[in-house]
Amino acid sequence: MTRVLTKDKFEEIVQALHNDCILAFPTDTVYGIGVLCSSRTAAEKLKNAKKRPETKPFPVMVASLADLEAIAWLSDRERKLALRFMPGALTLVLKKKYVIDNGLDTVAVRIPNDLFALTLLERVGPMYVTSANLSGEPACNTDAEVLQQLDGRIDLIVAGEAFSKTASTIIDCTGEELKLLRQGDLKLEDINKALL
């Protein structure tokens, strides 16, 4: 049975993550579900909860640019994008440093623009975070929607509502040209303009 906690139960939420629990929480985009990157056990639980294909790695959420640089290589171009759009609804696919174990040489990273999420990430460190829904189903925007889709599959839900209700824009930065992988509120033209 999945429990719903309010944000003021912060210490209990932190402890649950350290005990390999799967947590759903509202962000500046849609509801996310996540686990600590440091827990292989929790990452396996998350794959099963989402019914996510083995070949599809989880994005990572971090609290700061320093945390981002600890797990991924940033060129001047990527640093410029991070400084302009993060925290925010932009996920960058970058060449990873060998800190995150996702089976690939790249990692998708985002810094959310949400006070609760940032406070949590500052406290517990990088988390694998993906949209709170079963693979192939619509993303959730409220704790009630998360409970409807994932009750019994995850451990905890932080009560609340997601801010924009649109998933982040994902940009692949690993090639010479930026490549749009998913369109969110942030448009590719705005991203390209920021690099001029």
**Is residue 12 predicted with pLDDT exceeding 90?**
yes
What is the C-alpha separation between 124 and 10, in angstroms, rounded? 11
Peptide bond into 138 cis (omega under 30): no
Report the half-sphere exposure of 132 (CA within 13 A, side-chain side). 34
pLDDT the model gives residue 54: 72
pLDDT the model gives residue 100: 84
Residues 38-87 have pLDDT tens digits of 999 999 999 999 888 777 889 999 999 999 999 999 999 999 999 999 99
Query: Could you give all domains of the chain from N- to C-terminal order, each with its CATH number?
Result: 3-194 (3.90.870.10)
Residues 86-124 have pLDDT tens digits of 999 999 999 999 888 888 899 999 999 999 999 999 999
The model's pTM: 0.95
What is the C-alpha separation between 16 and 9, in angstroms, rounded? 11
What is the C-alpha separation between 145 and 68, in angstroms, rounded? 30
Band (191; pLDDT cuts 50, 70, 90)? very high
- Structure tokens belonging to residue 86: 């993060």
Residues forming beta bridges with residue 17, ordered by sequence position: none
70-79 as b/e, with b when 16 or more CB fall inside 10 Å?
A: ebbebeeebe
Instruction: Report the pLDDT averaged over residues 153-175.
Output: 96
Mean pLDDT (the chain, rounded) = 94
Type and span of the H or E element at 92: strand 90-95
Helices vs strands, H then E, count in the chain: 7, 10
